[in-house]
Amino acid sequence: MHTEINEILGTEYPIIQGGMAWVAEYHLAAAVSEAGGFGLIGAANAPADWVREQIRKTKELTDRPFGVNVMLMSPYADEVSRVIAEEGVKAVTTGAGNPEKYMELWKARNIKVIPVVASVALAKRMQRCGADAVVAEGCESGGHIGESTTMTLVPQVVDAVDIPVIAAGGIGDGRGIASALMLGAKGVQMGTRFVVTKECQVHPAYKERIIRAKDIDTKVTGRSTGHPIRALRNDMTKVYLQKEQEGASVEELELLASGALRRAVQEGDIHNGSLMSGQIAGLIKEEVSCKQLIDMLIRQTKEALNRSRMYE
């Protein structure tokens, strides 16, 4: 499977692992890159020194290219962006904002820049300021989401820009990857599927909860605050949505959410933690290694693409 994305990232396959907050650390990033995909460290709200250490540890585990995802709402986004430029990685992806002010810094160090966008407008703007590709992320994704679905967003972004588009949101197997290619994407980014891998360091209870999830088990909280977050439904999402409906203040809601992702990832608190997850959780049935997963994805994609030829 070869597209422009393999060239940009220097990978065997056009498959990117999502830069998931608290989840995407060096063991996972290195394993994905070793398996022929593109591993990412999720900088999330972490301080710059943590990111520096993660980059160095990833380099100890793999000689293959990997990247960092910068969460632009982080109070450390400026310092993290500088550390990435100093340490050097193959590519940066960004989320939850507009990365324009960091673009020159990264490009001067020959770091590829791939903003994650949830709209055509931001995709066009990113192309204008020199992005190498964009990830078009639909609202089936876990975590912070936009309004459009992957099915509607990807072809509209593909038509609006000339740079390669990577599809994200709702992709969990080779059928999803084949569909993304049909929509005009040149690669995929997958998050939730990579949570349930052997190398992913999240608490086993979090993985177990994804494996047990049904199709309708995610909820979106925070629509009223302008920061919608998709996660598996539990006591936490129930209380949050109830408070939102009662018109709770942004401060009260933020207090409720504060530390919730860490509680889920590190402590395995499946009741009061925030189990960020995409809608594809219901499809995920077993934990496998990153190598097994990527090999399986490639085989399934080829099978799906071959099946599509029966309509010729």
Q: Answer for the pair 38, 11: CB distance below 8 angstroms, yes or no.
A: yes
Per-residue contact track with ligand TUI, 56 to 75, x per CB under 6 A? Answer: ---------------x-x--
96 binds ligand TUI (CB under 6 A): yes
Beta-strand pair 187-190/165-168: parallel
Residue 25, phi then psi, degrees to nearest 5:
-110, -175
146 binds ligand TUI (CB under 6 A): yes
Q: Which residue is nearest to ligand TUI (CB)?
A: 143
51: contact with ligand TUI by CB under 6 A: no
- φ/ψ of 72, rounded to 5, equals -70, -15
Applying CB under 6 A, the site for ligand TUI has a residue count of 19
Task: Convert 276-304 to b/e letters by CB count within 10 Å (16 or more is b).
Answer: bbbbbbbbbeebbebbebbeebbebbeeb
Taking residues 243 to 262 in sequence order and writing x for each that binds ligand TUI by CB under 6 A, - otherwise, the string is --------------------
| Interface with ligand TUI, residue 98, by CB under 6 A | yes
Q: CA 117 to CA 163: how far, in whole Å?
A: 13
What is the DSSP pairing of strand 229-232 with strand 143-144? antiparallel
Question: Residue from 48, 145, 178, 202 that binds ligand TUI (CB under 6 A)?
Answer: 145
Among 21, 77, 195, 304, the residue binding ligand TUI under the rule CB under 6 A is 21
Instruction: Count Cα neighbours of 21 within 13 Å in the Cβ-side half-sphere.
Output: 27
Q: Which of 37, 39, 95, 138 binds ligand TUI (CB under 6 A)?
A: 95
Stretch that binds ligand TUI, among 75-83, 142-150, 208-216, 278-286 (CB under 6 A): 142-150
Q: Which two tokens stand for residue 309?
A: 């030829």
Look up residue 134 and give its two tokens: 């964009």
- Using the rule CB under 6 A, give the single segment among 3-11, 96-104, 290-298, 303-311 that binds ligand TUI: 96-104
Q: Does 97 bind ligand TUI (CB under 6 A)?
A: yes
Helix, strand, coil % in the chain, rounded to nearest 5:
45, 15, 40
Site string for ligand TUI, 184-213 (x = CB under 6 A): ------------------------------
Exactly one of 28, 41, 118, 264 binds ligand TUI (CB under 6 A); that residue is 118
70 phi/psi in degrees, rounded to 5: -100, 120
Binding footprint of ligand TUI on the chain (CB under 6 A): 21, 44, 71, 73, 95-98, 116-118, 122, 137, 143-146, 227, 229
